[in-house]
Amino acid sequence: MAITKKDEFTSEEIWLSDIAKALSHPARIKILKILNETDSCIVGTIVDKLPLAQATVSQHLKELKRVGLIEGEIDGPKVCYCLNNKTLVKAKSALDKLFSKIGCC
């Protein structure tokens, strides 16, 4: 069986790169800011605060949910999103560890 290049990296390195990829769009950063300002938010409210179409916002929400940065709960015909604090704390810790030597050179 062939070894892929990805096999040379730890699961934490792969996970953190996936988180970084999910954070690599300004709309996703804005969505996280919106959710951080409130306990939860319905998609329509998020759409109203962004200069993007509802379908585009939904794709960004899907990516944030895929990596676990947010959670979504169906409330009748609406989906209500909130931050996933457990994943956010883990990501912050991993980034702090990655950059722990900044300013030491």
How many whole angstroms separate alpha carbon 88 and alpha carbon 99? 16
Whole-model pTM over 0.85? yes
Predicted local confidence at residue 10, as pLDDT: 94
In terms of Cβ atoms closer than 10 Å to its own Cβ (0-12, 13-18, 19+), residue 52 is: middle
Strand partners, 82: 71
As a residue count, the chain comes to 105
How many whole angstroms separate alpha carbon 66 and alpha carbon 70? 8
- In the chain, where do the E strands start and end? 41-42, 70-75, 78-83
Please list the rounded mean pLDDT of every run of 10 residues in the chain (105 residues).
73 96 98 92 93 96 97 86 96 93 70
In the chain, the amino acid numbered 104 is C
Domains and CATH numbers, the chain: 11-95 (1.10.10.10)
Predicted local confidence at residue 105, as pLDDT: 61
